[in-house]
């Protein structure tokens, strides 16, 4: 079969499947599940894949699901990944398929990603031997705490068969519907976390001179930490140091012994990332010492910088142009200081995360976010074309 023929078939099959997959999306949206608790979601995914006659593996790294669509024998294997988890947010939309679970919502569009990948399976299985290789579909738990990818990589999802390249999509509010972005290079930030324990000497709130007040020290440390980004690192290198929690004391009249600062560090450069713990330690210990207190830093690396491979990003754009038109295929995306654990796969195999335009909807992680129905068939057809392009 000629390429043009197979692309037309992908388009036709996508149109034939669209209504059913939109219904799958609505069903998933009604039943959001938080990280590592995607039991129903995994069951729904597995049931749809099995109904297509596919061999399905479940329970990978917790609730992960994989399947491989085998095309022409001896061809390469590429992987497509969707994330499945929801967020601890109470939905505030008036959608007919609004979340039925108080305190849980698909506010990052992972329900859309999951439905799209089910749709991709439904389209690709119809291609048979015309598919010039195999496509592995990875349904991943727990993207939001950026830990699901770690579990799946450890479980060997990128081997047997060996995956040559991997692609994921993420719905992107603000990018027009019908547009996509596949920009090479660093596109999502590394995300690390830290805890600083400040130890002073507690005492009476009315006699501060007899204490070493860890709250006053903590206030100085929070301010001094802002100088890492503004004075210790080049202004041309993005870095975020955010203190997001400051806990100390319980009474009006007691100066506590200890205070705890917690927060997150984001960078777009692995080399810069490696230097930040030392800055934090110096600022925390030095500031605490100036007031007669001590500081202990606990720093945890969580998620690396997500670097899109230039070759795979180019292949995505080449696959998208005949479908969406050159004007709707972007390669100038602004990096986000948000994190995405898809970076862990990209440390192992070449790949890229593409942004799928969702048009004018509320921002990600907002209680009014909605993944528009119209983006579902675009995502399905696009991922099928991308898989095809990568296999050729």
Q: Give the binding site for Ni ion (CB under 5 A).
A: 108
Sequence-ordered list of residues with C-beta below 8 angstroms from that of 138, at least 6 positions apart, any chain: 64, 66, 79, 80, 81, 82, 152, 157, 166
Shortest gap between Cβ of 108 and Ni ion (angstroms)?
3
- Note the Cα 62 to chain centre separation in Å: 17
Q: Whose CB is nearest to Ni ion?
A: 108
| Structure tokens that stand for 160 in this block | 């047997």
Residue 56 vs 339, nearer CB to Ni ion: 339
Residue 112 vs 214, nearer CB to Ni ion: 112
Determine contact, residues 349/390, Cβ cutoff 8 Å: no
Q: ∠ CA(34), CA(105), CA(19), 5° rounding? A: 110
Residue 89 vs 108, nearer CB to Ni ion: 108
Residue 108 vs 131, nearer CB to Ni ion: 108
Shortest gap between Cβ of 91 and Ni ion (angstroms)?
16
Shortest gap between Cβ of 168 and Ni ion (angstroms)?
10
Shortest gap between Cβ of 338 and Ni ion (angstroms)?
8
Residue 86 vs 319, nearer CB to Ni ion: 86
Torsion sign, CA atoms 167, 171, 174, 176: positive
Sequence-ordered list of residues with C-beta below 8 angstroms from that of 300, at least 6 positions apart, any chain: 192, 193, 194
Residue 6 vs 108, nearer CB to Ni ion: 108
Shortest gap between Cβ of 83 and Ni ion (angstroms)?
6
Question: Measured between alpha carbons, how far is 233 from 150 in angstroms, rounded to an integer?
Answer: 29
Shortest gap between Cβ of 153 and Ni ion (angstroms)?
18
Give the largest CA-CA distance in the chain. Answer: 85
Of 382, 381, 385, the closest CA to residue 17 belongs to 381
DSSP structure string for 121-167 = HHHHTTTGGGSSSEEEEEEES-TTTT-HHHHHHHTTTTTTTTPSEEE
C-alpha R_g of the chain: 24
Residue 105 vs 123, nearer CB to Ni ion: 105
Shortest gap between Cβ of 312 and Ni ion (angstroms)?
20
């Amino acid at each position: 079969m000629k390429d043009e023929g197979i692309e037309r078939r992908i388009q036709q099959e996508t149109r034939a499947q669209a209504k059913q997959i939109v219904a799958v999306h609505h069903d998933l949206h009604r039943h959001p599940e938080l990280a590592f608790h995607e039991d129903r979601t995994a069951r729904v995914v597995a049931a749809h894949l099995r109904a297509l006659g596919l061999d399905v593996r479940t329970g990978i790294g917790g609730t992960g699901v994989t399947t491989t669509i085998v095309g022409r024998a001896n061809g390469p294997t590429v992987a497509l990944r969707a994330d499945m988890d929801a967020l601890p947010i109470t939905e505030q939309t008036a959608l007919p398929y609004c979340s039925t679970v108080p305190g849980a919502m698909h506010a990052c569009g992972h329900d859309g990603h999951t439905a799209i990948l089910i749709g991709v399976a439904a389209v690709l299985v119809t291609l048979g031997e015309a598919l010039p290789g195999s496509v592995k579909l990875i349904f991943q738990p727990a993207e939001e705490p950026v830990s699901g990818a770690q579990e799946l990589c450890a479980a060997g999802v990128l081997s047997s068969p060996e995956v040559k390249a991997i692609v994921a999509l993420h719905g992107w509010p603000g990018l027009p519907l019908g547009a996509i972005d596949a920009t090479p290079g660093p596109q999502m930030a590394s995300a690390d976390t830290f805890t600083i324990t400040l130890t002073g000497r507690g005492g009476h709130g009315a006699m501060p001179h007899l204490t070493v007040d860890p709250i006053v020290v903590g206030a100085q440390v929070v301010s001094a930490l802002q100088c890492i980004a503004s004075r210790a690192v080049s202004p041309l290198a993005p870095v975020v140091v955010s203190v997001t929690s400051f806990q100390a004391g319980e009474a009006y009249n007691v100066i506590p012994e200890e205070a705890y600062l917690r927060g997150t560090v984001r960078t777009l450069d692995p080399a810069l990332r490696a230097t930040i713990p030392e800055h934090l330690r110096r600022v925390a210990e030095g500031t605490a010492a100036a007031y007669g207190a001590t500081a202990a830093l606990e720093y945890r690396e969580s998620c690396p910088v997500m670097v899109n491979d230039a070759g795979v990003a180019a292949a995505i754009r080449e696959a998208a142009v005949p479908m969406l038109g050159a004007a709707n295929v972007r390669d100038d995306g602004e990096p986000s200081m948000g994190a995405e654990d898809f970076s862990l796969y990209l440390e192992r195999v070449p790949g890229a995360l593409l942004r799928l335009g969702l048009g004018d909807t509320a921002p990600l992680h907002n209680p009014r976010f909605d993944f528009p129905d119209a983006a579902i068939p675009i995502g399905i057809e696009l991922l099928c074309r991308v898989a095809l392009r990568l296999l050729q």
